[in-house]
Amino acid sequence: MEGEDNVAGMSAANEAAGPFEGFVLGIESSCDDTACAVLDAEGRVLSSVVSSQLDVHRPFGGVVPEAASREHLRNWPAVSAAALQEAGVDWSDVGAVAATRGPGLVGSLLVGLSLGKAISYSLDVPFLAVHHLEGHLFSPLLRTDGASRSVPESMVGLVVSGGHTSLLAVDGPSGAVTSLAETLDDAIGEAFDKIGHRVGLAFPAGAEVDRLAELGDPAAQPFRVARIKSDELAFSYSGLKSQALRALGEIEAGNGGAEGEPAVAAGDDESWPRDVLDLLAGFRRAAVAQLIDRLDRLSEERPVERLSVSGGVAANRLLRREVAAWGERRGADVLLVPLRYCGDNAAMIAHAGLLRLRRGDTDDPRSADAESRIPFR
């Protein structure tokens, strides 16, 4: 990757070391989760600790970057101590350090990356500055009970979260990653969050919108699946979001509520108006159908033997059912990320780092830098 050239002496030291046999410490701080994990050389997750900052950001309805950086600094000592203790590993047992270098909030990234660089430098062990999406992309290879699966020679990855809606391809024995498609506007998780916020749910609302959508009838509130004429694989969620918000306004007006007010105060399931539940179900169906539509288009362009599905939105119940059915229809092997590694975590960063370490593709801890935007080419 660009800007990550190894310093000659360091990479020679890594290559001379032979196959890696120690423990990898992973650090993730790209947004509002402070995470630390320990993996062994086979990719077994010995610990994965994630400290959420949601209580700090929730009153603002989104992540406040300045507060996030401060919280990472505050949380790190306890999070790292818990990860090492749970894994039964001492600092002196750490054989490599992997930290997220981007994309994300630069102030947040700098905290985790700087800690990772300092730890690697002081322990004199290899350092890996990991692309956050690479962490998600390979996370379906992690298992909840055992060594990670080996990387397939060819794989397509769908990464769906609050910040990303990306279709990626992994090709060849070196696992080179290229971008096939991105969202042109909102990420899918962002759309779930905005709709959820509008009906009075707490941020981030995706999981709760998903749960409530199970209670509604999607056929009663259908939405069109967005298509982009100029780029058949590109994603777009702002149109669907606007349509759903407009439909909510109409429901509110019809129910005698004031426009702009939440359709109903979030309460128990019985208190939700049927038309709101139907709308959430219709929105979810169109959001997921867009992903399946792009997978269909892609498989008409190139064979997709293996599909990895990851990111926070990969916890979505409908998406999990639909990609499994898609795999059966298309004869593709679908690797779904285990639920516990859907959201941001450091196990996926340690794991992506381990894959690069096995190829001797390490970074210099003195010069690795955080970047808020790093496209895959």
**Interaction residues for ligand KG4, span 22-81 (CB under 6 A):** 31
- Residue for token pair 């992690």: 142
Torsion of CA 118, 164, 190, 38, to 10 degrees: -40
Subset of residues 289 to 348 that bind ligand KG4, contact rule: CB under 6 A: 311-313, 315-316, 343-344
| Residue 210 interacting entry, from ligand KG4, Zn ion, none, C-beta within 5 to 8 Å by type | ligand KG4
Smallest gap from Cβ 112 to ligand KG4, in A, equals 14
Instruction: Please report, as a single letter, which amino acid is at residue 52.
Output: S
Q: How far, CA to CA in Å, does 81 sit from each of 37, 87, 173?
A: 10, 10, 36
Q: Which is nearer to ligand KG4, 41 or 64 (CB)?
A: 64
Q: How far is the CB of 87 from ligand KG4 (least distance, A)?
A: 22
Q: Which of residues 151-170 bind Zn ion (CB under 5 A)?
A: 161
Cα–Cα distances (Å) from 130 to 53, 78, 163, 361, in that order, read 22, 23, 17, 11
Contact positions with ligand KG4 (CB under 6 A) in 198-217: 204-207, 210
Cis peptide before 126, with omega less than 30 degrees from 0? no
Instruction: Scan for tokens 């270098």, then name that residue.
Output: 101
Q: How many residues in the shown chain lie near ligand KG4 by CB under 6 A?
A: 19
From the number of C-beta atoms within 10 Å of its C-beta (0-12, 13-18, 19+), residue 2 rates as exposed
Distance CA 197, CA 201 (A): 5
343 binds, among ligand KG4, Zn ion, none (CB under 5 to 8 A by kind): ligand KG4
The option from ligand KG4, Zn ion, none interacting with 204 (CB < 5 to 8 A, set by class) reads ligand KG4
Site stretch for ligand KG4 (CB under 6 A), options 14-22, 95-103, 157-165, 363-371: 157-165
**Interface ranges with Zn ion (CB under 5 A):** 161, 344
**Interface ranges with ligand KG4 (CB under 6 A):** 31, 161-163, 189, 192-193, 204-207, 210, 311-313, 315-316, 343-344
